Homo-oligomer: A and B are copies of this chain.
Amino acid sequence: MSSIEVVSPTIEEYLEAIYRLEKKKGSAKTGDLAKELNVALGTITNTIESMEKQNFITHKPYKGVNLTKKGRKIALDVVRRHRLSERLLTDVLHIDWSKTHDAACKLEHAIADKDIIKPLEKVLGKPKTCPHGNPIPSESGKVIEEKSELLANLGLGKEGIIVKVTDERPDMLQYLATLGLVPGANVQIEEKAPFNGPIIVKVMGASYALGRNVASVIWVKKNE
């Protein structure tokens, strides 16, 4: 029986953060983790040392840490619980998608039990993604990532469907929602200002100028 190892909520948070950073930048640097987890640098050094001893991660000083197979397995389970929690919050409790991330980040540790997570997944209708479009790992840790590209990289005149949003700060999500920039929405590039200037996009008939920072958290699937 290869059931998933039980670790403290703290270690789960570390694994979750490492997973995200690894996905985004290839590895998780001490400093990034300190910011992400809101703790002092020395704390990170301590904890990753202990996590390395437990074979959850490998660490190359000044290069960052990476998940081992063992660590990734747990991380994926945390991410799974996180994203199912988000779905519960939006789909069942009707909470705004801008508020779900922080709440889910606590909830995820309280629903580790299979007797809870399985019924939850079922009631939600086995959703494939979180409300922000990120894939929900399967029970066995499989992640089906829909192919997509950054809105910021889409060519002039091209259009596509928003697949996911990879910045879950409440203010960012609120802003995106007011423009209708949510997963499933159709967007077209109308203009791209030079020198990394704004991008004008058309959504639901309306046009908006987006900064590159914003256009770089939105992933779309190009229409053929």
Contact = CB atoms under 8 A, between A and B. Distances in A.
Interface of A: 89, 92-95, 99, 103, 106-107, 109-111, 113, 115-116, 119-120, 123
Nearest to A117: B93
Given A93-B116, A99-B115, 6 more contacts: A92-B92, A95-B119, A103-B111, A103-B115, A103-B116, A106-B110
Contacts of A93: 116, 119-120, 123
B94 A116 contact: no
Contacts of A120: 93
Q: Which 6 A-B pairs have the closest CB atoms?
A: A110-B110, A106-B110, A93-B119, A107-B110, A103-B116, A93-B123
B110 A94 contact: no
Nearest to A103: B116
24 contacts: A89-B116, A92-B92, A92-B123, A93-B116, A93-B119, A93-B120, A93-B123, A94-B119, A94-B123, A95-B115, A95-B116, A95-B119, A99-B115, A103-B111, A103-B113, A103-B115, A103-B116, A106-B109, A106-B110, A107-B107, A107-B110, A107-B111, A109-B110, A110-B110
